[in-house]
Structure 1
Amino acid sequence: MKSFENFDKNESQNTIEVPESINPDKSATGKTYVKITAEDIERIEEFWDILDPIYWTIDIYSSYEEYLNSAKDFTLEQRYLNAISWYFMEVNNGGHFQFFDNSTGIVWEDALNGLKEFGMEELADNFKKIVELFGGKIPFDREERWEAMDKMSENFEELLDKADSVVYDLYDYDYAFEMKYIKEHPDKFVFEGYYNKIV
């Protein structure tokens, strides 16, 4: 899987490691502090400078309740940004099958809503066709998702392959859609706080 570490990105100038000796919040020792203002967003050119705290904070590996709880400090649009990022990373690497097979499938609904919100209508329509194969609702739980996939018709993977091709044809992986939306709605992507960054 293409992971966050594989992406070239410039660290935001306002991202710092907080030493314990000057850290006012002792529970935040060893965490990364960042403040991203609307003014910063106007200047930021790197997509990952916006996504970084969201990516490292939102839990996609536990229950759906824990997923939502881990996202509580972010706006809905930040949650959507994270979800569509996972969607494109997974589909680009191993197709829709990999997206659903892995823990990332927990973000399917936010990914679909994010594609719509960020103006990627053709990609949203393509993804919606897959959701319809599941009867309109995909399990958030990974094992339940596996069971649902096992019950699919014989041509399920063929249909996923067709959906993969649509994504490959329509999406350039340059984050242009996402950055356009972020720049048009900077107030929805501000953030200040600590987060656990694994390096």
Structure 2
Amino acid sequence: MSNPQRIASYWDLLEPIWDQIDIYTNPETFLAQFAQLPQAVGDLYAAHWLVSEVVNGAFPQFFSNSTGVLAPEALIAFRRIGLTDAADITEACMTFFGDSYPRDRAVRATMIDWVWAETLSEDDEYNLDILLDLSSQFLDAIGKDQNVFNLAADEYANRYRASLK
């Protein structure tokens, strides 16, 4: 006999807080609001954003957009969720920004906007190839149609829910 209990989606934890976190204004606002979330909810929020951006347009898009503010949180989240390959790949991409990851979008833009140039230098082409290859590896790590990510995120959400009972 099958188990009639439905395994809820991790999105059930995100939906109620989705509009409460401001990733657009500045890093300080984001960090203050993010700090108010339960750890598991914050982890799922950060991981979901990174996955969505990389699926939609690779790591250069993630870093160029406001969502890039939460890269350090997404990196930690992937480790906590159990997706170490995704975490390692994210960490490798973050090294393009040096030792201290810039949360400020304008700072990141000056460091990554070469990606969108009409003509790239040989070094920039090489670096873009690396970022796109890492993006492809990341997509492999989260599974076709994000199934590996979704399963791991659902399991993580269910562990969090169980800890509340």
TM-score (norm. length: structure 2): 0.80
Separation (CA, whole Å) in 1 of partners of 2:112 and 2:134:
16
Look up the equivalent residue of 2:61 and give its one-letter code.
Q
Separation (CA, whole Å) in 1 of partners of 2:141 and 2:81:
14
SS in 1 for 2:57: helix
Name the counterpart of 1:47: 10
TM-score (norm. length: structure 1): 0.68
Using the TM superposition, name which of 153-162 and 77-86 deviates more.
153-162
Asked if residue 141 in structure 1 is aligned to residue 116 in structure 2, the reply is no
Q: CA deviation at 1:139?
A: 0.8
Structure 2 unmatched runs, 5+:
116-122
Asked if residue 167 in structure 1 is aligned to residue 138 in structure 2, the reply is yes
Kept after mapping to 1: 8 A contact 2:40/2:156: no
Look up the equivalent residue of 1:163 and give its one-letter code.
L
Separation (CA, whole Å) in 2 of partners of 1:112 and 1:164:
14
Give the alignment of 1:49-198 within 5 angstroms. 49-150=12-113, 153-154=123-124, 155-172=126-143, 173-174=146-147, 175-186=150-161
Structure 1 unmatched runs, 5+:
1-41, 191-199
Structure ranking higher in strand proportion: 1
Sort the Cα spacing of 1:48 and 1:148 in 2 relative to 1 into closer, same or farther, 3 A: same
Q: Deviations over 1:116-166 (max 9, x none)?
A: 111101111111111222223321110000112257951221111011111
Q: CA deviation at 1:43?
A: 5.4
Look up the equivalent residue of 1:110 and give its one-letter code.
E
Sort the Cα spacing of 1:53 and 1:135 in 2 relative to 1 into closer, same or farther, 3 A: same
Using the TM superposition, name which of 147-156 and 71-80 deviates more.
147-156
Q: Report the identity percentage.
A: 29
Q: How many equivalent pairs are there?
A: 149
Pairwise CA RMSD of aligned residues? 2.2
Look up the equivalent residue of 1:186 and give its one-letter code.
R
Q: CA deviation at 1:187?
A: 5.7
Sort the Cα spacing of 1:187 and 1:56 in 2 relative to 1 into closer, same or farther, 3 A: farther
Separation (CA, whole Å) in 2 of partners of 1:103 and 1:130:
16
